[in-house]
Amino acid sequence: MEYRIEKDSMGEVKVPADKLWGAQTERSYENFKIGTEKMPIELVRVFSRLKRAAAKVNLDLKLIDADRANAIMEACDEIHAGKLDGNFPEAVWQTGSGTQFNMNMNEVIANRAMQILKEKGKEMKVHPNDHVNHSQSSNDIFPTALHVATYMLTKKWLLPALDEFIETLDKKAQEYMDIVKVGRTHLMDATPLTLGQEISGWAGMMRRDREIIAQGIEFVHYTSMGGTAVGTGINTHPEFAVRVAAEISNLTHEHFETAPNKFQSLSSKSEVAAVHGLFKALAADLMKLANDVRWLASGPRCGIGEITIPANEPGSSIMPSKVNPTQAEAMTMVAAQVLGNDATVGFAASQGNFQLNVFIPVISYNVIQSLRLLSDTIRSFNKKCAIGIQPNKVRIAKHLEECLILVTGLVPLIGYDKAAEIGHKAYEENTTLRQAALSLGYVTEEQFNEYMQPERLIKPEK
């Protein structure tokens, strides 16, 4: 491998000749051989927008000359387009402010900007700190990137995935609204409902989760840039913070505004912790929904088996013809991961020592992973499972006929105690509710037929 020599404030460093990063990136690459987790490419893309916004504002404020500023912005556009992928090797497990990652961005942008200037016949030095990082600190740009990434990816990935899923569940709920089945509480038989009503509960959960997430992400539309090192705004123009927030909004086509208190925005991560808590709430509902589906589809002959789900792949390496609820299992594993991520994000958010939270990289990694996993599993479950859910009407009818809890329908007529006696008698003698009720003489056959109609038991009394 060929190398070139790069210099920083600590001296010379050998850097691979085919890479655009500089000395500080190489030092970090060598010093943090921890795990395999790298900074998410989505964070690279967001940083490129923030660096471009800063260069534009610095140009407008006449803090950087036009040649350098335009070259920086062009390099940022290339990064955003994915043309410089492979130049961002930073581990998640590094300094808690993410300084090495910020410098990785600065160095790649600076070196590419110099190449761009050279291609235009201009030999000019573009410094990663003095030019690319002008008016910025790792301490204010990384929290800004965390907020922008959370906001943008939620709107780009998660909300559309939820919309598609909700549409599917609404259609299924309407289609099966007249299929009366046994309800279950405590995993035990309960009063009836329709399959459509049951699925409408799933749709309602997803709709409510979407609503609170869409509202909650407004907590992260504030930017920290302009606070620099500790929140005072040292080495920035008085107008930089407001202008850069406006330029970020212009580039992303979303509304961002500068945080009113930079000391809070650098040291506290309560907003993103709160938003991830909403992701956790969604994960909890997905766990419930996926478990409902695999319970209801269990069998096919020796379980509940009231619905069928698509058979996407063989389920066993030893048992022929076995098919498993794989999409449900994948969704529940994602839910478990997101719940774990939330514990990490919550603890990391508590580590705001004095003027800076020093767990920003791991917060960013977990938030982006949760967003990606939730979005992917919802789309996969919707496409590979939910769309193909079908009722097993024979099984549903059999369970409904055998359900002793239907005796609840007689309570308005004969009272709780007598209805309970009928239920116990039917269970102990292995007979039907009809047989038990008529033998005890508590109701006539006409009364039984009237009060025990399943359609009457799935809605409030008139």
Catalytic residues: 186, 316
List the alpha helices (DSSP H) in 66-194. Answer: 66-80, 99-119, 138-153, 159-175
Measured CA to CA, the distance from residue 436 to residue 77 in angstroms comes to 78
C-alpha distance from residue 190 to each of 181, 405, 419 (Å): 10, 6, 14
Q: Are 356 and 266 in contact (CB under 8 A)?
A: yes
Task: Tell me how many helices (H) and strands (E) the chain has.
Answer: 17, 10
> What residues does 185 pair with on adjacent strands?
188
Residues 6+ apart with CB under 8 A from 47: 79, 101, 102, 105, 141, 145
Which residue has tokens 């009457």?
456
Tokens of 77: 């556009």
Strand-strand pairing, 180-185 and 188-194: antiparallel
Tell me the two tokens of residue 388: 């193909």
Residues sharing a CB contact under 8 Å with residue 42, sequence separation 6 or more, in sequence order: 149, 153, 368
- Rounded CA-CA distance 392/296 in Å is 10
What are the start-end ranges of the H helices in 178-227?
A: 195-216
Phi first, then psi, for residue 241 (nearest 5°) are -60, -50
Alpha helices by DSSP H, 154-299: 159-175, 195-216, 240-252, 262-267, 270-296
